[in-house]
Structure 1
Amino acid sequence: GVAQTVGYVSALESENTAGELQVAAESFKRKKAIQGTLSPVVAKDLTEAREDEIALIPSPATGEPGSLTPPRAFNMMFQTNVGAMTDGSSVAYLRPETAQGMFVDFKNVVDTGRVKLPFGIAQIGKSFRNEITPRNFIFRSREFEQMEMEYFIHEDADWAKVHEEWITWCENWLKSVGLPDSHLSRYAHPKEKLAFYSRGTVDIMFKYPFGVQEL
């Protein structure tokens, strides 16, 4: 027979989006008591959905249809223009963090500072992020002062050992300035959640009055 569309399911983009959509489709089939075999799920980006389809697509968070808005462009960086002219050639963006300067200046620091691995570069400066909903004290600020350090080691060095040493050093420093040990904890990001450039990420957490958050 001719294949029919019996409903819509949704999932957030991930490494296993197709699998998650298939599971959601099977669940939808059971809930609706639909007979027959499901054809392979046709995955489509929300940006490609028609307006009438968007009204039928359930939210990945709530499962309720009709709660999604059409996709809109959003940039986490603040856009501005440099110079007197306002056109495409003058577009610039305020930096969302300070790290890029330390990577760009790495060779210059090595050449002028006569340093050898391992060594660190630290700096402090303004950063800007176009947060959708600024909230939670200073955790969602659009303009903030950021102190950051990058510590460089040889590619053959035991990075896990160095990483652990730095985490412990940071914890000891926090305790030395008065933060109680009972309010401190660690959160190690699972491997599947790591950024593409990270071998390991650990957040030092603090128990605030409004909950546990990263320091």
Structure 2
Amino acid sequence: MSDEFQRYQPAPVGIEIQQEGLCENWKSALLCVDIQYLNCADTFGVFENHRRSGVSESAIQYYLQRVDQAVVPNVKALQQYFRECQQEVIHIRIQSLTEDGRDRSAEHKRLGLHAAPGSKLAEFLPEVAPIDNEVIINKTASGVFVSTNLEYLLRNLCISQVYVVGVYTNECISSAVRSASDLGFKVCVVSDATAAITHALHEATLLTTKDRYATVRTTSEVLTELKQ
């Protein structure tokens, strides 16, 4: 029997074979959710016209200030640490497959959310944008796990724990956290690297998430734990 043929035969009972590709060391990943022009930058996308957004001016200003002064710098610090440790930094964004967005979920069509491929709205904020060879996941729904192959990807990358950052805390972040927890991943929400349109929504989401679906830590706490 040729060696070529034997490669495709079942192993005899009692003989151990090496299974290449199985995970020996499980790792952590940083999931950066929706930090893009569509919903994180003034005069773009959701915030192109403040009056038509349906959100109060005070809420808009609170949110944009928090993104600029808390979310972006804290995500940047976490990205730097994960990269230095050669851990995965995974970028998730809203972007359709088609120019006209006909492939979007019913939810995004109803909400008028659309970032076409190659558009400014689909671009990540430059301070926290992907660098060479980092994974980018595109979605057209709130829930990244139910609408993409993210779970499959994480298993392939031998990821067992995810740190979740980005926007909005009460929407896409909450959806990702709950799904990840249900699927058996260990989850941490970084409280000062996430934001909702109001402080009340942000805090309420963290309260219902903490110690049920995920741990909740600040950026400083996460970095201290990871460096131990």
Q: TM-score, normalised by structure 2?
A: 0.22
* Higher helix fraction (1 or 2): 2
Which protein has greater RCO, CA pairs closer than 8 Å, 6+ apart?
A: 2
Q: TM-score, normalised by structure 1?
A: 0.23
| Bigger radius of gyration among the two | 1
